[in-house]
Amino acid sequence: MNSTNMATGKLVREAPVVRPVRWRLAALRRAPVVPLAIIILMVLTAVLADVLTPYSPVNIALPERLRPPFWEQGGSLAHPLGTDPMGRDLLTRLIYGARVSLLVGFLGLFLGGGVGAALGLIAGYAGGRVDTFLMRLTDTTLSFPIILLAILFVVILGGSLLIVVFAIALVLWARFARVIRGEVLSIRERDFVAQARIAGSSPRRIILVHLLPNVLNTLVVLLSLQVGWVIIVEASLSFLGAGVPPPTPTWGSMIAEGRNYIASAWWVSFFPGLAILVTVLAFNLFGDWLRDALDPTLRQL
């Protein structure tokens, strides 16, 4: 940019304004190492479950039932975390349970998040009756007790992994639609959207090319923050007997199996509960960091 020197009358070229990128490096340095390590460990455990343990997660071995962890009397390193009432290795079932929980969580998130984001984009851009109808539908979905709605859906259609995924997506899409619609309402009034309309761009092109890229940060943060919530919902459904049917191991069903043995075999419920706690906490901490790292207001710091 040029300016005029009042003393000499000559044009003086001003130094270009360079936006600092230190916020990116600072955000990376603040990355939560422990939560990231836990998430990576959980994902690798779920993927490599078949090679990490010599035991089957479903085969019953009654002579080995209710063996304590290795550090307690009667325990053995053959079953480091003990066994359940059916004699199955608890660590093995935890590993395979991680696969189910993460699979249901990610599939439910992408299905519910994708539908919710699409409806939020349409409602925010279209406005009028379309917006009113979609938002009333969103409000109706959000008003239902989440667990009850998911249980009704699973009970009506039967229990299976895909049904649980659809049940979670059914109660999840409204959260995404509400937030994305709010973002679009502010973006659609900006000059570049008006210029796209004047240039004759179709509503579909405006939504995909101009609006969607501007809400991706919000969408990514929402996805990361909702992972823990989805894992809890899946565990709750399994605990109540409305989740993935047995003998497939899930953390919620493992807690349910051990509730009658709290006094005599505390490990049966404790370790699945601990796995849920650690995993949900790790995803929530990662989501908080990601929200701060992608916050546009921090880019000027």
pLDDT of 6 > 60? The answer is no
62 or 159, which is more confident: 62
Name every residue whose Cβ is closer than 8 Å to that of residue 231 and which is 6 or more positions away in sequence.
101, 102, 105, 276, 279, 280, 283
Give residue 277's pLDDT.
Answer: 92
Q: What is the mean pLDDT of the chain?
A: 82
Does a structural domain hold residue 36? yes
Residue 224 maps to a domain: yes
pLDDT for 247 equals 81
- The pLDDT confidence band at residue 23, using thresholds 50, 70 and 90, is very low
CB burial of residue 62 (10 Å; 0-12, 13-18, 19+)? exposed
What are the structure tokens assigned to 272, written together?
């699945």
pLDDT tens-digit map of 175-185: 899 999 988 88
Q: How many domains does the chain have?
A: 1
Assigned domain for 26 exists: no
Give the mean model confidence (pLDDT) for residues 215-239: 86
> pLDDT of 95-122, one tens digit each?
999 988 888 888 988 999 999 999 999 9
205 pLDDT higher than 60: yes
Residue 228 lies in a domain: yes
CATH number at residue 282: 1.10.3720.10
Which pLDDT value is given to residue 295?
64
The arithmetic mean of pLDDT across residues 81-95, rounded, is: 90
Is the confidence at residue 268, as pLDDT, over 50? yes
Q: How confident is the model at residue 163 (pLDDT cuts 50, 70, 90)?
A: confident
Is 160 inside a domain boundary? yes
Whether 52 maps to a domain, the answer reads yes
- Asked if residue 62 is part of any domain, the answer here is no
Q: CA–CA separation, 93 vs 83, rounded Å?
A: 9
Task: With respect to residue 98, please indicate whether it lies within any of the assigned structural domains.
Answer: yes
Domain carrying residue 239: 31-56+72-300
